[in-house]
Amino acid sequence: MDRESTSKKELEESQEIRFDGKVAVVTGAGGGLGRVYALELAKRGAKLVVNDLGGARDGSGPGSQAPADKVVEEIRALGGEALASYDTVSTPQGGEAIVRKALGVFGRVDILINNAGILRDKTLVNMEPGGWSAVLEVHLNGAYNVTRPAFAQMREQGYGRIIMTTSSAGLYGNFGQANYAAAKMALVGFMNALKLEGAKYNVLVNAVAPMAATRLTQDVLPAELFQRLNPEFVAPLVVYLCSEKCKETGRIYNAGAGYFNRVALLTGEGMLLGEGLRPPSAEEVSQHWEAINAMEGAREFPNAASSMEPMIRALAKAQRGK
């Protein structure tokens, strides 16, 4: 091997992302994306709690231990350490049990990937309350139920990495998925609050909108696209976000087919009507509708308080103009 090749190999080894000594909890890890996340983290040295209820795609049925057990066997065959959890994420008791298992066996929790999910797609007028609440219970409440005890442990440790699984359905909308879209966008709000609560404890929280071929997407994606979207093409981004190398928090990313990009919530400059001294009329809003909708110079804001800056600046400018 020549000197250049040796140097390149040494550089790659020095930059390798490892998770030795770290403990990861992955929900919905019995198949699809969750399985791939768990296997990749284990290959890189992490100890895993593989959580999966083993239910049907719509969350029905009695559940099965087989999916989680199979992934645990795969990890152990690779020489890794893993244990299975069959608890549901949809109850506080289930979430506590998942984290308690990690602490009881491995003594800590460093990484949490909230991946568990179900689908019950229907247009709104055909969606019964049970179909609405079932999806929110798993995606949104499930993330809360597991994150709360895990976050407490991470805060105590002074270290943690949490991944929320959002979706293009929530970020952009998708026909017939009002329940799923609402849950997935709510997770962005959850992340935005936790990024602030976790910042001083080195607990970083990010969201990923994966586009992958799994049992949840097999009826949603076109067949030709489905074949190209293996979960393995999403995992590299998630692995990076779970690592010590990652310093970002409160970010949203799309991931699919090896293509990654960041998603951001932007606020336009807008305009002040009535100089802040009198309530403007609806007619004034109509008259200035184009300016209100303009996105030139739109910006991101790190928190709710800072998002008031354009309004405060406009009020101050109006006051100076008197």
Model confidence pLDDT, tens digit, residues 98-112: 999 999 999 999 999
Distance CA 76, CA 68 (A): 12
Query: On the CB side of 152, how many CA atoms lie within 13 Å of its CA?
Result: 10
Listed in sequence order, the DSSP H helices in 44-177 are 66-77, 92-106, 129-136, 142-157, 168-171
When mean pLDDT is compared across 167-176, 216-225, 262-271, the lowest value belongs to 216-225
121 pLDDT exceeds 60? Answer: yes
The DSSP string of 115-133 is -------B-GGG--HHHHH
196 CB-near residues (< 8 Å, 6+ apart): 250, 303
pTM above threshold 0.75 = yes
Q: Return the pLDDT at 8.
A: 57
Kindly report the average pLDDT of the chain as a whole number.
94
Domains and CATH numbers, the chain: 18-263 (3.40.50.720), 274-320 (no CATH)
Buried b (16+ CB within 10 A) or exposed e, 169-203: bbbeebeebbbbbbbbbbbbebbbebbeebeeebb
Distance CA 115, CA 29 (A): 7
Computed on alpha carbons and rounded to an integer, the radius of gyration of the chain in Å comes to 22
Distance CA 214, CA 189 (A): 25
SS (H, E, C) 183-214: HHHHHHHHHHHHHHHHHHHCEEEEEEEECCCC
Of 37, 86, 159, 180, which is the active-site residue? Answer: 180
29 pLDDT exceeds 70? Answer: yes
Residues of the chain with pLDDT > 70, as a percent, come to 91
Are 196 and 260 in contact by the 8 Å Cβ rule? The answer is no
Residue type, 120: R
- 243: DSSP letter: S
Q: Indicate the Cα dihedral angle 4, 8, 10, 11, nearest 10°.
A: 130
Buried b (16+ CB within 10 A) or exposed e, 231-251: bebbbebbbebbbeebeebbb
83 pLDDT exceeds 90? Answer: yes
- Whether 253 sits among the annotated catalytic residues: the reply is no
